[in-house]
Chain A
Amino acid sequence: MLEQKLADRDRVPVRSAAAEDLRSAYTTHGLNSYQVCRYSRQLLVPAFGIAGQEKLLSSSILVIGCGGLGSSAALYLAAAGVGVLGLVDRDTVELNNLHRQIIHSEEAIGTSKVRSAATSCRRINSSLSILEFPNGFSADNALEIVRKFDVVVDATDNLPSRYLISDACVVARKPLVSGAALGLDGQLTVYNHKNGPCYRCLFPVPPPQSACQRCSDSGVLGVVPGIIGSLEALEAIKLASGTGEPLSSRMLIFDASLGRFQNIKLRAKNPSCVACGDNPEITEANFHNMNYEAFTGVAMTDEVIRKQVVSLSNSLSCLELRKRIEEKVPHVLLDVRDEHQYAISALPQSTNIPLSQLQKNSQELRDIILDDEKMPVFVICRRGNSSQEAVELLRNSGVNALDVTGGLEAWSREVDSKFPLY
Chain B
Amino acid sequence: MWAHSRGGLELLFGSVKCHEVDLDSNEITVEKLLVWIRENLLKERQEMFLKGKSVRPGVLVLINDYDWELMGHLEAPIKDKDSVVFISTLHGG
A9 to chain B, nearest CB (A): 34
B88 in complex: contacting residue of A162, A205, A211, CB < 8 Å: A211
A264 is an interface residue with CB less than 8 A from chain B: yes
A214 to chain B: closest residue by CB: B92
CA distance A185 to B17 in the complex (A): 13
Query: A213 and B92: CB pair below 8 A?
Result: yes
> Range of interface residues on chain B?
20 to 34
CA distance A229 to B66 in the complex (A): 24
Which residues A192-212 have CB closer than 8 A to chain B?
A: 202-208, 210-212
Complex contacts, B74 vs chain A, CB 8 Å: none
B48 to chain A: closest residue by CB: A211
Query: B67 and A264: CB pair below 8 A?
Result: yes
Given contacts A211-B56, A265-B66, A203 and B89 within 8 Å (CB-CB): yes
Instruction: Render A170-209 as a binary contact track against B, CB cut-off 8 A, 1 for contact.
Output: 0000000001111101110000000000000011111110
B47 in complex: contacting residue of A162, A179, A208, CB < 8 Å: A208
A266 is an interface residue with CB less than 8 A from chain B: yes
CA distance A67 to B7 in the complex (A): 20
A262 is an interface residue with CB less than 8 A from chain B: yes
Complex contacts, B57 vs chain A, CB 8 Å: 203-208
Instruction: Render A279-323 as a binary contact track against B, CB cut-off 8 A, 1 for contact.
Output: 000000000000000000000000000000000000000000000
B78 is an interface residue with CB less than 8 A from chain A: no
Query: A159 and B48: CB pair below 8 A?
Result: no
Given contacts A264-B65, A264-B66, A182 and B90 within 8 Å (CB-CB): yes
Query: B44 and A360: CB pair below 8 A?
Result: yes
CA distance A259 to B88 in the complex (A): 18
B80 is an interface residue with CB less than 8 A from chain A: no
A397 is an interface residue with CB less than 8 A from chain B: no
Query: B87 and A253: CB pair below 8 A?
Result: yes
Query: B93 and A267: CB pair below 8 A?
Result: no
Given contacts A205-B57, A206-B57, A264-B67, A182 and B6 within 8 Å (CB-CB): no
CA distance A210 to B9 in the complex (A): 12
Query: B93 and A215: CB pair below 8 A?
Result: yes
B49 to chain A, nearest CB (A): 9
Complex contacts, A118 vs chain B, CB 8 Å: none
B11 to chain A, nearest CB (A): 10
B14 is an interface residue with CB less than 8 A from chain A: no
A104 to chain B, nearest CB (A): 14
A69 is an interface residue with CB less than 8 A from chain B: yes
CA distance A183 to B17 in the complex (A): 15
A185 in complex: contacting residue of B8, B47, B65, CB < 8 Å: B8
Query: A267 and B91: CB pair below 8 A?
Result: no
Given contacts A185-B6, A202-B60, A210-B48, A69 and B91 within 8 Å (CB-CB): no
Given contacts A211-B48, A218-B8, A265-B65, A157 and B92 within 8 Å (CB-CB): yes
A155 is an interface residue with CB less than 8 A from chain B: yes
Query: B58 and A207: CB pair below 8 A?
Result: yes
A83 is an interface residue with CB less than 8 A from chain B: no
A225 is an interface residue with CB less than 8 A from chain B: yes
Complex contacts, B48 vs chain A, CB 8 Å: 208, 210-211
Complex contacts, A213 vs chain B, CB 8 Å: 8, 90-92
A182 to chain B: closest residue by CB: B92
Which residues B36-75 have CB closer than 8 A to chain A?
A: 44, 47-48, 56-60, 62, 65-67, 69-70
Complex contacts, A202 vs chain B, CB 8 Å: 60, 89
B62 to chain A: closest residue by CB: A264
Query: B67 and A265: CB pair below 8 A?
Result: yes
A97 to chain B, nearest CB (A): 11
CA distance A107 to B24 in the complex (A): 63
CA distance A202 to B6 in the complex (A): 17
Complex contacts, B59 vs chain A, CB 8 Å: 207
A70 is an interface residue with CB less than 8 A from chain B: yes
A255 to chain B: closest residue by CB: B6
A263 is an interface residue with CB less than 8 A from chain B: yes
Query: A181 and B90: CB pair below 8 A?
Result: yes
Complex contacts, A258 vs chain B, CB 8 Å: 17
CA distance A228 to B7 in the complex (A): 14
Residues of A within 8 A of B (CB): 65, 67-70, 155-159, 162, 179-183, 185-187, 202-208, 210-215, 218, 220, 225, 228-229, 251, 253, 255, 258, 262-267, 356, 360
Q: Name 8 interchain pairs, CB-CB below 8 A, sorted by A.
A: A155-B93, A185-B6, A210-B48, A211-B56, A214-B92, A215-B92, A225-B93, A265-B67
The 3 closest A-B pairs by CB, nearest first: A207-B58, A182-B92, A180-B90
A182-B90, A214-B92, A263-B65 known; 17 new pairs, CB 8 Å cut-off, are: A158-B91, A182-B8, A185-B8, A202-B60, A204-B57, A205-B57, A208-B48, A211-B56, A225-B92, A262-B65, A264-B67, A264-B85, A265-B67, A266-B67, A266-B69, A267-B69, A356-B44
